[in-house]
Amino acid sequence: MLGIVGNSLIDFISSIFEILIFVFMISIFLDFTERAKKNVILYFVIYVVLKIAKIIFPIVFLVDFITSIYILIFVFIAFKGNFAHKIFAFCTAVCLNYVVDIFIISFTNMGFNYNLFFSTLSGGIRGIWVTIIKLILIILVYILLKNFATNTTLKINILSSVQTLILIMLPAFSFATITILDWGVRNFVNVPVNTSAFLLIASLCTIIYNVIVMILIDKMILNKKYKHLNEMSEAQLRTQFNHYEQIMSKNQETRKLKHDMKNHLRLIRSLIETNDIDEAKGLLDEIEDTMSGLDLEISSGNNITDAILNEKNKMAHSLGVKFEFSEILPSDNFINPFDISTIFSNALDNALEAAVKVSGSERFVRTATYIQGKCLFILIENSVEKDIKITGKEIESTKPNKEQHGFGLKNIKDSVEKYGGSLSTICENRIFKLEILLNIKI
């Protein structure tokens, strides 16, 4: 009786390690949601209860089925990404877990055949050793990925659904291959070496294949990120070039006005002397209008921000969107110019794309900033067609190219976090608000 309880306890501990390994494998590809981070203990307790139920109740198949469904539901609610992303991460984790199991089983079977270490162990202790070996193998795989892949590029939630669905075929192929080999060599095909040795080599090759696939995915995502960063850099340069062209045009107009100003003043003096006040007023009004036209429509006090705001203001007018900006910014580059461009360009592009979908005169984008101490507060508001669903800090995108939208928001967040800042979003009464707080050097 004591031996049965001991074996059950060992199996229970092994299963806990198994699920932790499984969740770790999925976390290689997807980030946890904010809700999952808060409720991680609850999710774990539910799993523990299910495993205890498996020990207590004799209907093992039913409990196993419920546990499997729970794990699948957990993956879908605990991790970020769309349906395709989660399916890919789940399939890859299941495949890698299965292949590692085949590898370990083949290894231990060879041990039994040749009276090695595993042949002397009891079933429960053997289970713990199998779990430890699996953990070591998964850690080795992770170390390989860390050496050949970057820290963040394996996160696949920036890939499109079509790209992700194509990638799902890779773990599915390796899963099918090792299953067919396992079934074939045990039942029909005679191989020139020991069956366990053959499966050991086959599963090891499959593990290596999956690692190579993950590294290729890393390179694909890295290339996609670099492409997007290049596009952002080009857009920033175009914006600044247009801004400088606009300034040069204004300067030329100023020189022309300055050249004509003496003649204008003489004419005004002459009109006043002849008591032609109305004509003099009319000429003064014309000069005032001309001088007003020489000013930039938006002047924040910061050259980089001026370039972006005036470019987006011009775009807003062409789209029929009312564009407003209030308050000022530090004249010096209070943060890196690239981060200024990243924050304002992405935020205003998203705001304009949302506002243009609104019908009638309700289209607007409002930007306000103010400084308090060493903190800069940025508020960007825009009208929306309907309230946007915000879960935690995640925004449900309505764009067809959601991966590009994800890039924009992620880039804003990355830039904000560089300066120990914070970002929050609110959507109510068909007004979307993006609030950013930055720590700056003044």
Banded model confidence at residue 117, pLDDT cuts 50, 70, 90: very low
One domain, residues 61 and 191: yes
In sequence order, what DSSP letters do the residues of 95-114 get, joined into one string?
A: HHHHHHHHHHHHHHHHHHHT
24 contacts: CB under 8 Å, gap ≥ 6:
138, 142
Question: Domain containing 304 — which CATH number?
Answer: 3.30.565.10
Highest mean pLDDT out of 84-98, 256-270, 369-383: 369-383
Among 188-197, 281-290, 390-399, which stretch is predicted with the lowest mean pLDDT? 390-399
Q: Mean pLDDT, the chain, as a whole number?
A: 74
CA-closest candidate to residue 232, choices 401, 411, 378: 411
Domain count, the chain: 2
Rounded alpha-carbon distances, angstroms, from residue 294 to 47, 246, 256, 317:
69, 10, 11, 18
Res 74 pLDDT > 80: yes
Collect all residues with Cβ–Cβ distance below 8 Å to 151 and sequence separation of at least 6.
Answer: none
Same domain, 225 and 312: no
239-250 mean pLDDT: 62
Per the domain annotation, does 413 fall within a domain? yes
Type of residue numbered 395: I
Are 225 and 329 part of one and the same domain? Answer: no
- Whether residue 280 has pLDDT greater than 80: no
Query: Domain for residue 439, yes or no?
Result: yes
The values of phi and psi at residue 377, to 5°, are -105, 130
**Which of 213, 232, 251 finishes a domain?**
232
Is 203 within the bounds of a domain? yes
Domain assignment of residue 165, given as a range: 2-232
Q: Is residue 440 one of the residues assigned to a domain? A: yes
Q: E strand or H helix at 423, and its extent?
A: strand 422-428
